[in-house]
Amino acid sequence: MSRLIIISNRVSAPKDSHAGAQGGLAVALQAAIREFGGIWFGWSGETVEEFTGQINFQRAQGVTTATVDLEEQDIEEYYNGYANRTLWPLFHYRIDLAEYERGFAGGYQRVNERFADTLRPLVESEDILWVQDYHMFPLGQCLRDRGVKNRIGFFLHIPWPPRRLLATMPEAQELVRTMFAYDLVGFHTQEWLDSFRDYATYELGATVEGDTLVLGERRLRAIVAPIGIDCKEFVAGASTAAAKLAYRRMRDSAVGRDMIVGVDRLDYSKGLEERFAGYERFLAEHPEERKEVFLLQIAPPSRGAVESYKKIRTALEGLSGRINGAYADTDWVPIRYVNQGYPRDVLAGIYRAARIGLVTPLRDGMNLVAKEYVAAQDPEDPGVLILSRFAGAAAQLKDAVLVNPYSADEVSDAIMQALRMSREERKARWRSMMDNVEAEDVVWWRTLFTDALMGKDTPAPIPAHNDVAAA
């Protein structure tokens, strides 16, 4: 049987602590490696004075990880630079924030070459390779240049931008051309896939044959594979002692008020400023509801080395302070804004205690918080998910209250609708969403992709347009 080599920027070795401590994606990829045998390869997260390509192998619970250290300059140009200041904003449609610097592009290419040099000797002829995410677009081509003939797949965890936005990046054509080194590419939604196909056909002259794009000698199959969560693990996590304690604490501290919860990495794509503005509109328009609700926003900081992330942190501190200053009373504060992370089972308890899950990214590849919120609910008295129509998750969670996150009025109306929603309606919407979260979980996603990569499934034609998230 073929071994599976997974390659991603960061690598998660299995941990000894209870299963809830790790994200569902890490656990699912580890399980895949256990099933097929193989390796998980990537950056160690450490720096070294001079790159050596020395691999640190580790084996834990049946999973082998192989990591390499990078130079300070690599991290500046490849990770903080091209990945986080060029590709991340551009792929979330924020060309106003995207920085196009040749130094970043050069460093990104150099690091991918370094990964390819290091990985090449580990690849055996029957292995199947699966590259994850935007840090590694050119890796497939770098491996082909070094004689790797194996099947290689690529999965993109973030959106794919419309072609006219992508065209603003100087290396766009080259980047998309190198993607034809892969045999299979996967996206969370049809919308992202359509944008990719548009670019490849209009800008590069690729042709479409069913679900395959053809460019010269290369054939690239493109599929939709929406990622899910480890639903069983999350449901179990919601009834651990820690979850129950968190649930009780939240309920006690709510003193009969309805809690609205948001949980997001501190990132401009998550629409936090717009969310606060929508909530403020709700408070302004519904004075009678003011002391009946509060918003708990959990936002652990991320990518603190990047300037735009420092800015959003300052902006949110100002905004939450202003809203609290304008509306708070001696016995009530409208926003509890928290800049720290919590263990996963504590999060599950918090989700369960919240009458509303407010998930309003401006643009999001999928958004797992939306699915976690659904999985954590009490089936007999579930809360309401308010979800941005611009999150990939909206294509699956059609019974959420879908909103345009840019519209404070829509967010405000959705909060009111959710607060007034009958238990009957809440249960019906929740059941339909939970059916999806249970069925299309992270193992389903992983199997969908690896089966396609190994040619074990039946290709379906690409529909002309995405009927869901095309807005």
Q: What are phi and psi of 405, to 5 degrees?
A: -70, -15
Residues of span 394-453 touching ligand GDG by CB under 6 A: none
114 near 53, Cβ under 8 Å?
A: yes
465 part of the active site = no
Buried b / exposed e over 47-59, threshold 16 CB at 10 Å, is: eeeebeeebeeee
- Is there a contact between 275 and 269 (Cβ–Cβ < 8 Å)? no
Q: Compose the 24-63 pattern: x for residues touching ligand GDG by CB under 6 A, - for all others.
A: -x--------------------------------------
User: Could you say which of 194, 267, 364, 399 is catalytic?
Assistant: 364
Q: What share of the chain is helix, strand, coil (3-state, %, to 5)?
A: 45, 20, 35
Please pick, among 157, 198, 258, 457, the residue that the annotation labels catalytic: 157
Contact window for ligand GDG (CB under 6 A) among 51-59, 144-152, 168-176, 364-372: 364-372
The question of whether 409 is a catalytic residue gets the answer no
By CB under 6 A, residue 386 contacts ligand GDG: no
**To the nearest whole angstrom, how small is the minimum distance from the Cβ of residue 223 to ligand GDG?**
15
Q: Is 366 in the site for ligand GDG (CB under 6 A)?
A: yes
Tokens of 365: 């590849």
361 close to 405: Cβ distance less than 8 angstroms: yes
- Token readout for 268 is 């401009």
Beta bridge partners of 401: 386
Query: Is 342 a binder of ligand GDG (CB under 6 A)?
Result: yes
Binds ligand GDG (CB under 6 A): choice among 350, 368, 374, 414: 368
The binder of ligand GDG chosen from 111, 259, 347, 395 (CB under 6 A): 347
Question: What is the size of the binding site for ligand GDG (CB under 6 A)?
Answer: 21
Q: How far is the CB of 52 from ligand GDG (least distance, A)?
A: 31
The single residue among 13, 333, 341, 413 that binds ligand GDG, judged by CB under 6 A, is 341
57: β partners: 66
Q: Are 169 and 194 in contact (CB under 8 A)?
A: no
Q: Select from 76-84, 200-208, 342-350, 452-460 the region that touches ligand GDG (CB under 6 A).
A: 342-350
The CA distance from 349 to 366, in Å, is 22
Residues of span 145-184 touching ligand GDG by CB under 6 A:
157-158
C-alpha closest to that of 89 among 169, 8, 185: 169
Options 172, 369, 402, 418; binder of ligand GDG; rule CB under 6 A: 369
* Displacement of CA 134 from its chain's centroid (Å): 12
Rounded to a whole number of angstroms, the minimum distance from the CB of residue 344 to ligand GDG is 4
**CA atoms of 12 and 10, how far apart (whole Å):** 7
Piece of the chain touching ligand GDG by CB under 6 A; list 110-118, 246-254, 366-374, 398-406:
366-374
120, 146 Cβ separation under 8 angstroms: yes
Q: Whose Cβ is closer to ligand GDG: residue 348's or residue 408's?
A: 348
The Cα–Cα gap between 184 and 356 comes to: 38
The single residue among 152, 298, 387, 433 that binds ligand GDG, judged by CB under 6 A, is 298
Is residue 30 a contact partner of residue 14, using CB atoms and an 8 Å limit?
Answer: yes
CB of 385 vs ligand GDG, minimal distance in Å: 13
What does the binding site for ligand GDG look like in residue numbers (CB under 6 A)? 23, 25, 157-158, 227, 263, 265, 298, 300, 341-344, 347, 364-369, 372
